[in-house]
Structure 1
Amino acid sequence: MADPAADPPPNPAADPAAQPASGQYFEAEPAVAALPRTIAVNVGEMQLTFATDSGVFSPDRLDAGTRLLLREAPPLGAGERRVLDLGCGWGPIACVAGLRSPAAEVLAVDVNERALSLTVGNAERNRAGNVTVARPDEVDPAHRFDRILCNPPIRIGKNALHGLLATWLDRLAAGGRAHLVVHRHLGSDSLARWLAERGHEVDRLVSRSGYRVLEVRPVGAPAT
């Protein structure tokens, strides 16, 4: 089954996933009635099935930004075992990362209770047994990650977004890296500048149809 999101649109306004979800997907308890559905998602040679619902990010399809991130983020290296999906939604990043790298430990984090429940079920449905799910406050602050994958929740506002990214990027292990996808119309270039000002090494891995995939290294990491 073809995925209607196969070609990222040139403008995020053309992508329903880029718009605020009913009930705000970044709230712990979305104030919108549940409307469960099942969608097919093709990523490379993987043909997966996911349960989604209203009140979570992009409930009708895999959004263009996440698709690009999954396509362009470098594969996990042999030493990259501790992986974080920050803002997991219904779990496409966590499940694909887990299936691609069975030896990795993939942690999916979200504030949205509906999203967390969906990710648990979708990991089981797609047999991604190395995926676990947690609320942000359930994660040990001392835990370090070799890789962070994230389609950031831009709609929470700049200050909240900066706080979120600062908290989790500071949990990168030495030698770790994060891969973020953001559309330029939603502030990718200003976000990259802020990250660089904060002391991160930031590289743009790819730019396609306005979406940027950024690679971010820990503060103080040597330039590559």
Structure 2
Amino acid sequence: MGEHYFAPRPGAASRRRTVDLVLPDLHLRLETDRGVFSPDRVDAGTRILLETVPPPPAEGDLLDLGCGYGPIALTMARRSPQASVYGVDVNERALELARSNAQAAGLDAVRFCPADGIDPGLRFAAIWSNPPIRIGKAALHDLLLAWLPRLAPGGLAHLVVQKHLGSDSLQRWLDAQGFPAERIASRSAYRVLAVSPPTDSPPTERRTESDPA
């Protein structure tokens, strides 16, 4: 993996390249670089998330948590062009790439910024994330507890996590924290979890798991 992709200012020498994200409904060519998450190809977990989640809400504020160079946020924007899409990351190089990729894809209304660049009063109709598991359990829990409470009533978060990196224990932890979590897909040792806010409001429609482990 080299230098941690969650470093705010990666020290690795720049060596840019392009990767392709090809899904049934879209094709994005994305620029990547050393020092960011999965620079050589779109990560398998990201691809599985984008192939299995229900369509994002057509309107409202949508968030890609840990956006990297932008594949998840840009997919949300392409699928829901009337929504306001945000991507947050600590990695400044990744954010620069994401902005460039958005412009190249004609999706320059997507906003990529550090966490403190988001209005703290904003509530999200959907949060999609391939979360940075390797920051450690305590830091990951802090990250999720900072953002999951910002789901709007009836909103959903969708997270993709490898089984051997703790997807099942994370699901139990989310439930214990009051965020009901349901596995909606399993593929290639990845789990996709749908996480609801702790509210009595009815969630948006979920897709049932069609590819059991």
In the superposition, the TM-score normalised over structure 2's length comes to 0.91
For the pair 1:180 / 2:159, whether they are aligned, the reply is: yes
Cα drift, residue 222 of structure 1: 5.4
Report which stretch shifted further, 137-146 or 101-110: 137-146
Partners of 2:192 and 2:109 lie apart in 1 by 25
1:68 aligns with 2:41: no
Selected match of 2:104 from 102, 125, 129? 125
- Report which stretch shifted further, 22-31 or 185-194: 22-31
Is 1:101 aligned to 2:83, yes or no? no
CA distance in 1: counterparts of 2:68 and 2:26, whole angstroms = 19
Whole-angstrom CA distance in 2 between matches of 1:127 and 1:49? 12
Equivalent residue number for residue 22 of structure 1: 2
- 1:173 is displaced (CA, Å) by 0.7
Counterparts in 2 of 1:73-84, with a 5 A limit? 73-78=53-58, 80-84=59-63
CA contact (8 A) 1:69 1:181 kept: yes
Measure, in 1, the Cα distance between the counterparts of 2:35 and 2:15: 9
Corresponding residue of 1:157:
136
Asked if the contact 1:199–1:220 (Cα under 8 Å) also holds between the matched residues in 2, the reply is no
Matched residue type, 2:122:
H
Q: Which residue of 2 aligns with 1:33?
A: 13
Please tell me whether residue 144 in structure 1 is matched to residue 123 in structure 2.
yes
Identity of aligned pairs, percent?
A: 52
| TM-score calculated relative to the size of structure 1 | 0.87
Three-state SS of the structure 1 residue aligned to 2:14 is: coil
CA distance in 1, matches of 2:39, 2:2: 10
CA distance in 2, matches of 1:222, 1:216: 13
Q: In the alignment, is residue 202 of structure 1 matched against residue 174 of structure 2?
A: no
5+ long unaligned stretches in structure 1: 1-20
Q: 1:221 and 1:160 mapped to 2: Cα distance?
A: 28
Deviation at 1:128, TM superposition (A): 1.5
Unpaired runs of 5+ residues, structure 2, are 204-213
Q: Alpha-carbon deviations, 1:181-219, whole Å to 9, x = none?
A: 001100000000000000011111011111100000112
- CA shift, 1:22, in A, is 2.0
Q: Is the 8 A contact 2:185 2:193 kept in 1?
A: yes
Letter in 2 for 1:196: D
**Aligned-pair RMSD on alpha carbons?**
1.3
Amino acid at match of 2:145: A
Moved >6 Å (runs of 4+): none
